[in-house]
Amino acid sequence: MKLLILGGFLGSGKTSLLMQLAHYMTDTSGGTALYRVVILENEVGREGVDDRLLKSSGYNVENLFAGCACCTVGGELVTAVSAIEKDYGPDWMILETTGLAYPGLIRDNLCHALGKESRICTVTDASRWARIKIPMAELLAGQISCADTVLINKADLAGEETLEGMEADIREMNPAAGVRRVSALEEIPTEIWDRVLGRTDHGTEENAPDGGGPYG
């Protein structure tokens, strides 16, 4: 079972992008699904909201509520991941973190506890970047610095100058990450999902800091 940690700040569009990614991974229109996928949804409050949307869309979703997987429910996370592998044996497990999580801590926890490596995709919000980058600087840097791929979501809502400034900020935090502009309202090119999943059979170099995308 491979692990993908989908992180990013609150309201950045993680769930919307996850819906598209899960569709891409499980679509059977070509005969068979690319992968068997289980989604683990982590929400910090007592009431789950995102999991209800994903479940009603037909995806296999497990929950981890009332705490953040990078700290307060770190132990429960390890138990949940083990149970998912044992009970479902999927090709991929995607963990959608809370918007407050540091994905690097989750990756370290899973590596130490289960010996499993994870890929990290961090979603950022172009429409709010200028407003939150200073008050949320530590959290944003923590979420971006560990990512294999950074998706600049809501790129359609920001001007070119904003996007270029945002890319520069992100590259300063993480020069090695692949950075792509997307809009969850539109279909994401499969090449971007392949990069998120670390698939290199499209001839692209994994994790090249390449910017651009549909809005590049």
Q: Which residues here bind other proteins, judged by CB under 8 A?
A: 9-11, 43-50, 52-53, 66-68, 70-72, 74, 98-100, 102, 105, 132, 135-136, 142
Question: Where are the strands (E) in 19-167, listed by range?
Answer: 37-42, 61-64, 92-96, 118-125, 149-153
SS3 of residue 191 by DSSP: helix
Confirm if 103 and 69 have CB atoms less than 8 A apart: no
Nearer to other proteins, 22 or 68 (CB): 68
Nearer to other proteins, 102 or 193 (CB): 102
Minimum CB distance to other proteins, residue 78 (Å): 14
Confirm if 140 and 9 have CB atoms less than 8 A apart: yes
Residue given tokens 């949307």 in the structure block? 53
Minimum CB distance to other proteins, residue 60 (Å): 19
Minimum CB distance to other proteins, residue 20 (Å): 18
Nearer to other proteins, 114 or 132 (CB): 132
Minimum CB distance to other proteins, residue 113 (Å): 14
Confirm if 147 and 121 have CB atoms less than 8 A apart: yes
